[in-house]
Structures are given as C-alpha cells and as structure tokens.
Amino acid sequence: MMDPALKAAQRKLTGRVMGRPGVVGTAVGMSKGEHCLKVLIADDRGRHGVPKEVDGYRVVVEHTGRIRRR
C-alpha cells in the first residue's frame, strides 16, 4: 500500500503541472533507491517550472513522448 503522504504529494504536483505545454502526466517512482515523484513530458516545453521537490519528495522529469489511449 502506498504511503498516504506520497499520494498527497503526487496530487499536489499534478495540480501544479498538468495542463502546462509538454506535460502528459505524473507518477510515483523510484530514484536513487528512494521514492520520488515524476513529471512525464512529451517534449522539453514540459521541463519549465517543474519544482525540484514537493513535500520533501524529489521530483524527477522523465521524457516519455506523447501518451495515447488505445
């Protein structure tokens, strides 16, 4: 089960970055052996204004390209 504080931090991050050009989503992941938050981007426009951390969790930008529903 995911830590409620981590889920809350992801919701906060999602509210801050979704809708910005180039951003396609957010996720919870691992980086350097610790939980982190991820901002998924389609292109480099999504990098602008992404916080370095939210509620003590590191934020990592990951280039995924466009995400499409099937």
Report yes or no on 41 lying in a domain. Answer: yes
pLDDT at 46 (0 to 100):
93
Report yes or no on 51 lying in a domain. Answer: yes
pLDDT at 65 (0 to 100):
82
Please report where in the chains the tokens 């938050």 appear, as a residue: 37
pLDDT at 2 (0 to 100):
74
Report yes or no on 70 lying in a domain. Answer: no
Q: How far apart are CA 41 and CA 5, in angstroms?
A: 24
Report yes or no on 69 lying in a domain. Answer: no
Integer CA distances (angstroms), 4 to 7, 12, 14, 36, 65, in order: 5, 12, 15, 14, 29
In total, how many domains does the chain have? 1
pLDDT in tens, the chain (70 residues): 778 999 999 999 999 999 999 999 999 999 999 999 999 999 999 999 999 999 999 999 999 988 777 7
pLDDT at 10 (0 to 100):
97
Range of the domain at 59: 4-63
Check the CA dihedral 64-65-68-70 and report its sign.
negative
